[in-house]
Amino acid sequence: MADEAHGEGGGLSFHPMDQFEVKPLFGGGYDVHWYTITNVTLWLALAILAIIGLMVLTTSKRATVPGRGQSIAELMYGFVYKMVEDVTGKDGIKYFPYIMTLFMFILCANFLGLIPMSFTTTSHIAVTAILGFGVFFAVTILGFVKNGASFLGLFWVSSAPLPLRPVLAVIEIISYFVRPVSHSIRLAGNMMAGHAVLKVFAGFAQVAAIAPVAIIGVMAIYGLEVLVSAIQAYVFTILTCVYLKDALHPHH
Amino acid sequence: MEGELAHIGAGLAAIGSGAAAIGVGHVAGNFLAGALRNPSAAAGQTATLFIGIAFAEALGIFSFLVALLLMFAV
């Protein structure tokens, strides 16, 4: 896909989408099997290590007066805890560990992807679809386990006038099954679009006449991307909370 | 010929990004209008704000996805 962009003298010397290529770490080529250790594997592992470093190592001393690292860890914990409590209510607190894990993983993966020359794992739909469908199946199974067949009341809006309810049921069912798709594509799309824009602006910097504008543009967009990374992790988590609330209390 | 048409289609799909921008701006603008009238209630509604923005933005991301599919997959 990138061949025609290469070798145009003075034009883009790299394609903005090149950064999303999955490559094996060892032994070149593009031959990727399920067991191949690729750059995705590396950056997913680094995200896990970053979470362990932030959440486990800094809090291992359990200081009464927290240091810098422990303060950050406690702030994160309190932030997600309050979000779960506000959106799902008291009986959603049981599922806090899952939501905290999702939040920390997406946040760390997004932030690691912002390091220059790194690889953004969350820009791949394969990664976010696993997260999104995981939430979808967990929430659907949980809804049926907790409420039995009355979970289907989620699709039967009892507050609407009777003739309208079948129409609403169709809309509700469609919107329910679109959830995992939009949930995962939102994260992947935001990450991919932002990083592609960064690379496009970096490409403009090669043209001397507009280089200062391009460099200022890259800086501004980089700042925006830091914001977007945090907001998308927040949005993914809060939507998980909303879906969880629907599963626990399916009646409108 | 088909390749060129796919590129035109990808450009047309970018209109969806503009439409999503209108939607996100509408959500955020109305939130701000409401928040300035009753600032004490605003803090409790930031979660709703982000959920609304996320839903409005999802459709713009879908159009971006259509553009990407036309550029690289078709």
Chain B residue whose CA is closest to A184? B58
* Cβ distance of A86 and B47 shorter than 8 Å: yes
Q: Which residues of B touch A190 (CB under 8 A)?
A: 57, 61
- pLDDT for residue A180: 92
* Domain boundary assignment for chain A: 18-248
Q: Compute the distance between CA of residue A171 and CA of residue A177 in angstroms, rounded to an integer.
A: 10
Residue A80 near residue A100, CB atoms below 8 Å: yes
Asked if the interface predicted TM-score (ipTM) of this complex is over 0.90, the answer is no
Domains annotated for chain B, with CATH where assigned, are 2-73 (1.20.20.10)
Vertex A32 angle, CA A31 and A34, to 5° = 150
Beta bridge partners of A24: A38
Q: Which residues of A touch B65 (CB under 8 A)?
A: 185, 189
> Chain A contact for B58, CB < 8 A?
yes
Q: Which residues of A touch B73 (CB under 8 A)?
A: none
CA distances for A141 relative to A94, A144, A241, A243, angstroms: 16, 5, 15, 12
CA distances for A42 relative to A51, A107, A231, angstroms: 14, 16, 24
Beta bridge partners of A38: A24
Q: Which residues of B touch A89 (CB under 8 A)?
A: none
Q: Compute the distance between CA of residue A241 and CA of residue A235 in angstroms, rounded to an integer.
A: 10
The structure tokens 């004490």 sit at B40
Of A185, A238, A239, the CB nearest to B61: A185
Q: Compute the distance between CA of residue A5 and CA of residue A11 in angstroms, rounded to an integer.
A: 8
Q: Is A47 helix (H, G, I), strand (E, B) or coil?
A: helix
Spell out the per-residue pLDDT of chain A, length 252, in tens: 444 444 444 445 677 778 888 888 887 777 778 888 888 899 999 999 999 999 888 888 888 888 888 999 999 999 999 999 988 988 889 999 999 999 999 999 999 999 988 899 999 989 999 999 999 999 999 999 988 888 888 888 888 888 888 999 999 999 899 899 889 988 998 898 888 888 888 888 888 888 888 889 899 989 989 998 999 999 999 999 999 998 998 875
Q: Compute the distance between CA of residue B37 and CA of residue A32 in angstroms, rounded to an integer.
A: 57
Token pair in block for residue B33 = 């209008």
Contact pairs from chain A to chain B, CB under 8 Å? 38
**pLDDT tens digits for range B15-68:** 998 999 999 999 999 999 999 999 998 888 888 898 888 888 878 888 888 888
